[in-house]
C-alpha cells in the first residue's frame, strides 16, 4: 500500500482491507505512535465535514505528522478562480499525503492523476467515501466478530449516500446478504447493484424499515442527503421517510448493531442512543484508528 492513493474502495484488495483493519486494531490498543515525524499531511476540504476532517487530523497528529490545509475553500485562491489541478499540483509540492473532500464526483480521481503524492478520497460528491467504508468494516468486525456471511440492512438515501456505495462494494467480498430499504426515489444505483450481481450475491429491496429489523445483524442508517437534491420539493417529500426509535428494536437479534456514518438529522431518535444496539458514536471514534492505519500504511511505516 506504500505510496498508493485510495480513491474508490475497489482500489484495494480484500487482503489490503483486512491488513488495514489489523493495523487499526494495533492503533486502538496503542494510539500514540510517532511514526510520521517527518511527514506533512494536507487536509483539503472543499465541502463541510466534522468527523472525517477532524479524525484525519487527529490521526496525523497522533502519528507525529504536521497538518496543513483548509476546511473552507472560500478562504483559498479557489475563490480567485484557481483550478483544482493547479491547487493539487501546488499542495503536492508541500505535503507528503493529500486528504481531499470535494463536492464533485470524480474530483478525487482527477486529483490523484495530477498529484505527485498519494491522494486519499475523503468523499467525492455522491460517489465514494472509502475511508468511511474502512471504519465501517472495522466497526462491523468489532461488533460481530467477523465480516463474513452477515445480513446487512442499508436504510435511507441509497441513491446519494456515498458511504453506502463504498460499503456495499466492499462487503461483496464477504458473502453479505443485502437488505436495501429506501423510498422508491432513492434506490441504490444500478451501477452499485451490478457489484452485488457480479459477486453472485443476493439483495432484496424494501420500503418499510420494520420489515428488516428481526433479520439484520447490522442496520446501517443514513441521512437523506439534502445537499444533493436539485429540487427542494423532492427533498421535502422524502426527508422523514425513516425514523428508528427504541420501541422498534423489540424483536431484533441480541447482537444486532446500528451504524450510521453521521451526521444524523432525524433518522435515529435519541432514545436509541442508550440501547445496546447503538454503535454510531463508537463507530466515529474508530475513524481515528483506521485513518492512522491508512496514513501509516501509505507512508510505508506499517
Ligand atoms: N461520516 C462523515 O463523513 O461525516 P462528516 O461529513 O462529518 O465528515
Between CA 274 and CA 172, with CA 133 as vertex, the angle to 5 degrees is: 110
- The answer to whether residue 2 is domain-embedded is no
In this prediction, residue 50 carries a pLDDT of: 98
- Cell triple for residue 284? 466515529
Indicate whether 177 and 226 sit together in one domain: yes
Residue 1 lies in a domain: no
> Tell me: the pLDDT tens digits for 210-266?
999 999 999 999 999 999 998 999 999 999 999 999 999 999 999 999 999 999 999
Same domain, 155 and 34: no
Statement to judge: residues 166 and 107 lie in one domain: no
How far apart are the C-alpha atoms of 92 and 116, rounded to whole Å? 6
Q: What is the CATH number of the domain that holds 116?
A: 3.40.50.1370
Q: What angle do CA 267, 126, 194 make, to 5 degrees?
A: 100
Ligand 1 and 51: CB distance under 6 A: yes
Answer whether 281 contacts ligand 1 (Cβ < 6 A): no
Name the residue range of residue 31's domain.
9-128+287-299
What would the pLDDT profile of 28-80 be if each residue is shown by its tens digit?
999 999 999 999 999 999 999 999 999 999 999 999 999 999 999 999 999 99
Nearest-atom index, ligand 1, CA of 122 = 3
Q: Is residue 20 part of a domain?
A: yes
Give the active site residue among 19, 51, 109, 187: 51
Chain-centroid distance, C-alpha 186: 19
> Which pLDDT score, from 0 to 100, does residue 13 have?
96
Residues 85 and 217 occupy one common structural domain: no
CA 80 – CA 78 distance, rounded (Å): 5
> Average pLDDT in the 185-195 region?
97
Contact 133 CB / ligand 1 (< 6 Å): no
Picking from 124, 214, 215, the residue whose alpha carbon sits closest to that of residue 177 is: 215
Q: Are residues 177 and 54 in the same domain?
A: no
User: For the chain, how far is it from start to end, CA to CA, in angstroms?
Assistant: 9
- pLDDT above 70 covers a percentage of the chain that reads 100
58 Cβ closer than 6 Å to some ligand 1 atom: no
52 is catalytic: yes
Q: What is the mean pLDDT of the chain?
A: 97
Give the mean model confidence (pLDDT) for residues 285-290. 98
* Predicted model pTM: 0.97
* Cα 266 to averaged position of ligand 1 atoms, centre (Å): 16
SS3 annotation, the chain: CCCCCECCHHHCCHHHHHHHHHHHHHHHHCCCCCCCCCCEEEEEECCCCCHHHHHHHHHHHHCCCEEEEECCHHHCHHHHCCCHHHHHHHHCCCCCEEEEEECCCCHHHHHHHHCCCCEEEEEECCCECHHHHHHHHHHHHHHHCCCCCCEEEEECCCCCCHHHHHHHHHHHHHCCEEEEECCHHHCCCHHHHHHHHHCCCCEEEECCHHHHCCCCCEEEECCCCHHHCCCHHHHHHHCCCCCECHHHHCCCCCCCEEECCCCCCCCECHHHCCCCCECHHHHHHHHHHHHHHHHHHHHCCC
pLDDT at 204: 98
Q: What is the grid cell recorded at 190?
A: 444500478
Task: Say how many domains are in the chain.
Answer: 2
The alpha carbon of 238 and the centre of ligand 1 are apart by a number of angstroms equal to 21
104 contacts 124 by C-beta, under 8 angstroms = yes
Please indicate, yes or no, if residue 99 is contained in any of the structural domains. yes
Which one from 39, 53, 101, 291 is the annotated catalytic residue?
Answer: 101
Report the pLDDT value the prediction gives residue 80, as an integer from 0 to 100. 95
| 90-128 per-position pLDDT tens digit | 999 999 999 999 999 999 999 999 999 999 999 999 999
Q: Which residue has the cell 491522494?
A: 119
Q: CB neighbours (10 Å) of residue 116?
A: 10
Query: Would you call 222 a catalytic residue per the annotation?
Result: no
Is the CB of 261 within 6 Å of ligand 1? Answer: yes
Amino acid at each position: 500500500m506504500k505510496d498508493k492513493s485510495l480513491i474508490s474502495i475497489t482500489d484495494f484488495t480484500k487482503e489490503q482491507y483486512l491488513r488495514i483493519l489489523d493495523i487499526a486494531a494495533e492503533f486502538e490498543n496503542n494510539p500514540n505512535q510517532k511514526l510520521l515525524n517527518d511527514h506533512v499531511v494536507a487536509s483539503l476540504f472543499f465541502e463541510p465535514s466534522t468527523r472525517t476532517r477532524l479524525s484525519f487530523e487527529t490521526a496525523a497528529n497522533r502519528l507525529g505528522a504536521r497538518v496543513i490545509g483548509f476546511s473552507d475553500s472560500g478562504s483559498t485562491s479557489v475563490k480567485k478562480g484557481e483550478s483544482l489541478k493547479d491547487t493539487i499540483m501546488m499542495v503536492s509540492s508541500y505535503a507528503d499525503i493529500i486528504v481531499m473532500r470535494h463536492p464533485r464526483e470524480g474530483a478525487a480521481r482527477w486529483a490523484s492523476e495530477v498529484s505527485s503524492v498519494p491522494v486519499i478520497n475523503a468523499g467525492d460528491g455522491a460517489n465514494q467515501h472509502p475511508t468511511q467504508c474502512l471504519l465501517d468494516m472495522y466497526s462491523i468486525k468489532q461488533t460481530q466478530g467477523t465480516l463474513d456471511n452477515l445480513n446487512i440492512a442499508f436504510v435511507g438515501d441509497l441513491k446519494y449516500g456515498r458511504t453506502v456505495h463504498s460499503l456495499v462494494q466492499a462487503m461483496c467480498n464477504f458473502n453479505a446478504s443485502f437488505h436495501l430499504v429506501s423510498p422508491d426515489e432513492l434506490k441504490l444505483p444500478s451501477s452499485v447493484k451490478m457489484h452485488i450481481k457480479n459477486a453472485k450475491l443476493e439483495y432484496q429491496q424494501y420500503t418499510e424499515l420494520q420489515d428488516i429489523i428481526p433479520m439484520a445483524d447490522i442496520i446501517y442508517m443514513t441521512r437523506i442527503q439534502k445537499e444533493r437534491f436539485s429540487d427542494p420539493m423532492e427533498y421535502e417529500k422524502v426527508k422523514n421517510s425513516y425514523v428508528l426509535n427504541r420501541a422498534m428494536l423489540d424483536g431484533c437479534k441480541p447482537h444486532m448493531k446500528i451504524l450510521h456514518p453521521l451526521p444524523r438529522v432525524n433518522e435515529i431518535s435519541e432514545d436509541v442512543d442508550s440501547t445496546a444496539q447503538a454503535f454510531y458514536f463508537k463507530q466515529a471514534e474508530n475513524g481515528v484508528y483506521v485513518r492512522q492505519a491508512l496514513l501509516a500504511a501509505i507512508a510505508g511505516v506499517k
